[in-house]
Amino acid sequence: MAVKSALINVMFSAADKASRRMMRDFGEVENLQVSRKGAADFVSQADIAAEATIREELEKSRPDWNFMMEEGGSVQNDKEAPTWIIDPIDGTTNFLHGIPHFAISIAVLKNDKLTAGIIYDPCRNEFFHAEQGTGAFVNGRRMRVSGRRQMADALFATGIPFLGRGSEETDAQFQEELNRVAKSSSGVRRFGSAALDLAWVAAGRYDGFWERGLSPWDIAAGIVLVREAGGFVSDFSARDLAFKSGNVVAANSALHVPLLKTLRG
């Protein structure tokens, strides 16, 4: 069993506290007050409440640290201090439709490097965490990416463009990529949470993941998890720019390059 650091304990405590009300709301999902944030992009009272709880808990232990949040935007307390990157509910659409597949994601950005991340799946009670140089874990057990080496044996995850995201050009590009990967592999899954997709790559459940146009809070913690589990994360040109660009290709060491080549056609 892994011994969690003080930092990881702080992050877990914040996620755990936020998840309690979140799960109560999930149990009464039909009664949630929901407002529209954009085309097919909803924000619920549960989202807002979870983010407020997480911020409050993190500020207690690190009052000078900065914030980058999905709902609350950026807060700068000290430009020299690290930044918390928070997604209170990654998979909000699943949440609002009563689908038990969503997660809380918290990461730390220090000197422009992602150094720690946690992803908490409250429906399965799975707590994924990683810190730079110490490995990746799920519920205290060491995680490693899968050992599969052939595209034909691999299972991949992705995100599908939806209303309000993408254009005719990017939609066509995605369809081409999906066709190429599907015909080269054991299958492609789309479950609706990029954070959990990356956590599952780190855990060896998926062999790889790709998606374009993601936000920093969607992927920050997952990037740390995959890398600490022995995997590779890049943009579509094999550069270390996934976090900045929001265009992500993640896989184990044997399949990262083949997946990139397949996506490029």
d(CA 196, CA 180): 23
**What's the mean per-residue pLDDT of the chain?**
93
pLDDT of residue 34: 74
In a shared domain, residues 112 and 10:
yes
Domain span holding position 89 = 6-143
> Domain total for the chain?
2
Question: Are 85 and 55 in contact, with CB atoms under 8 Å apart?
Answer: no
pLDDT of residue 3: 76
What is the pTM for the complete model shown? 0.93
For 225, list phi and psi in degrees, rounded to 5: -60, -50
pLDDT (tens digit per residue) in 15-30: 999 999 999 989 888 6
Structural domain ending residue among the three candidates 126, 143, 160 = 143
In a shared domain, residues 15 and 138:
yes
Question: What's the average model confidence in pLDDT over 169-193?
Answer: 93
In a shared domain, residues 103 and 159:
no
Tell me whether residue 31 is in a domain: yes
Question: Are 223 and 114 in contact, with CB atoms under 8 Å apart?
Answer: yes
**pLDDT band with cut points at 50, 70 and 90 for residue 42:** low
pLDDT of residue 41: 56
In a shared domain, residues 133 and 196:
no
pLDDT of residue 38: 58
Question: Are 104 and 50 in contact, with CB atoms under 8 Å apart?
Answer: yes
pLDDT of residue 242: 97
C-alpha dihedral, 198 to 136 to 217 to 48, nearest 10°: 110
pLDDT of residue 39: 47
User: Which of these, 212, 4, 19, lies nearest to 117 by C-alpha position?
Assistant: 4
Q: 167 or 38: which carries more pLDDT confidence? A: 167
Question: Are 68 and 74 in contact, with CB atoms under 8 Å apart?
Answer: yes
CATH number, residue 230: 3.40.190.80
In a shared domain, residues 252 and 128:
no
In a shared domain, residues 135 and 223:
no
Tell me whether residue 256 is in a domain: yes
